[in-house]
Amino acid sequence: MFRKKGFWTILIIFLLAIGGGSYYYYNNVYLPSQETDEPTIQTAKVRTGDIVVSASGAGVVVSASEIDLGFRAAGTLADVTVQIGDKVQAGDVLAVLDDTDARKAVALAEIQLAQAALQVNPDALTENISLSEISISQAEINLASAQANLDELLSWEPDGDAIALAEANLAAAQAGYDAAVNKDAVAGSSVTAARVNLEQAQTALVDAQAAYDVAFDPGRDWELNDPRRATALENERDSAIRNLEKAQGALEIAQANYSLAVGNLNNDNATGAEVSVINAEQALVKAQTGPTDAEIEAAQLQVQQAQIGVVQAELSLEQAQINLEASQTALGQTVLVSPIDGVVVAVNAQVGESVGTTPFITVADLTQPLLEVYMDETDLDKVGLDYEVEVVFDALPDDIFVGRVVQIDPKLAIVDGVTAVRALVLLDTESFNKPQTLPVGMNAAVEIIGGRAEGALLVPVEALRELAPGQYAVFVMENDEPVLRVVEVGLMDFTSAEIISGLTQGEIVSTGVVDTE
């Protein structure tokens, strides 16, 4: 409390000192410095009025947001569904590429996925299992089987029942072998006898053929003319025919008997029985001694191969799924959709043209009319966020639009070689009836209101005397004499200044002196 009183006491003394010094300066320095002997003091009356501090600039209508759109891959335009001026919503289709190749790629990827799925689960199709749900159960079953076989070999112990069974199998195989040997021996004797009979039949046929050739020798046909010899020759020839036919039949029978004997010998030999004995002996040894190192190594290799099979099945299925997803993504990229609500402002391609990844459709958000404004950098102190703005468009000179500053760039811009302040102004849609009449690119004159005061006390700026930065005083005419008075100044333009405190309406203030000569 006392500190505040001391502060005001010091301030009053300071102001009185300033006032006295100023009075002294005004009467003894300022007035004598005038060239005229009788200077005339110029004055002005403190009045009420309105004052507006503003900065002028030029603006152009821009979109709130604007997106240039194109496909992610090159192709041929199959359809363009929009044209300039169309309103679109987020998700609307704007254009479509020819998707023939993309659909083929998806179909091929689906086939490859099905093949990979069948490798890990052959029943996938018959069980109507979803491809995305197919597991690697088959590969895991193979691994479990191989692991179980290896575990059985590693934990082997002699089994009395198995050994007894192997011994019985060996005895049976040996008995079978002995019986086969005996049978082969009997069959061998039968073959020998049949071969002898065959050889005898062959000899008899040769003899019968020789007798036939003698009986039917053409050189003996003369005997048929001799009654005494004709009967004997005919009897001889009949006998030769019968003996030849008999010898031929006997040879055929002997040949058949020999073939049968040989066949019986081949079917009943001891070779198969000997193999059975060998297998039974090996089975008995295995039952008595257990698995060999080679068998254990082979089982371990099978486990490793089964493990690899599981991993390969997983990778194969995963790769097939990735390929399908990639091809489906590529197919989806043949359709260009709008990511925002807006208006189509540019379409730079036609159906049938080949397009790359360069954007060819532009969608802009025109729901909020914005102005891009540029002002001289000397007006930077008159521009601030939310400052009121008045706009007059070149095409609509009779209408005044209002808005507010929503953005000020922190970096100065260079426009036509001149340094300028760039700001964005959001127009108040309630201040005009037809926002659609403000197309992008429309030019305007912009007035940014840095301050406004209505019904304020005003004095000419010439009446102000700056005592210190931001501190002012005026000379008030009292009894025709100027008296210095400290005032609080508000808004100030090129001609007038707002007086917040220190003066009242109607008081006379000095604005300087004029030469009367």
pLDDT digits (tens, 9 = 90+) for 96-146: 988 888 788 888 888 877 777 766 666 555 544 454 444 455 566 677 777
Task: For 65-91, give one letter per residue: b (16+ CB within 10 A) or e.
Answer: ebeebbbeeebebeebebeeebebeee
Answer whether residue 256 shows pLDDT above 70: yes
Return all residues near 290 (Cβ < 8 A) that are at least 6 apart.
153, 156, 157, 158
Distance between start and end Cα atoms, the chain: 56
Of residues 368 and 131, the one with the higher pLDDT is 368
Instruction: Go through the domains of the chain in sequence order and give each one's CATH number.
Output: 2-51+454-514 (2.40.420.20), 56-65+362-452 (2.40.30.170), 71-95+334-360 (2.40.50.100), 108-156+291-328 (no CATH), 160-289 (1.10.287)
What is the DSSP code (8-state) at residue 29? I
Q: pLDDT tens for residues 400-423?
A: 898 899 898 888 888 888 888 999
Mean pLDDT, all residues of the chain: 78
User: Rounded distance, CA 146 to CA 28, Å?
Assistant: 120
Condensed to tens digits (0 to 9), the pLDDT of residues 36-68 reads: 455 678 888 889 988 888 888 889 988 877 788
Confidence band for 22, pLDDT divided at 50, 70 and 90 = low
How far is it, in rounded angstroms, from Cα 444 to Cα 142? 80
Residue 57 has what pLDDT? Answer: 87
Residue with tokens 């058949």: 256
Beta bridge pairs of residue 426? 370, 404
Show the CA angle centred on residue 210, arms to residues 205 and 214, nearest 5°.
145
Residue 130 burial by Cβ neighbours in a 10 Å radius (0-12, 13-18, 19+): exposed
Q: Please give the average per-residue pLDDT across 186-190, as a whole number.
A: 68
pTM exceeds 0.75, yes or no: no
Structure tokens at 210: 């020789």
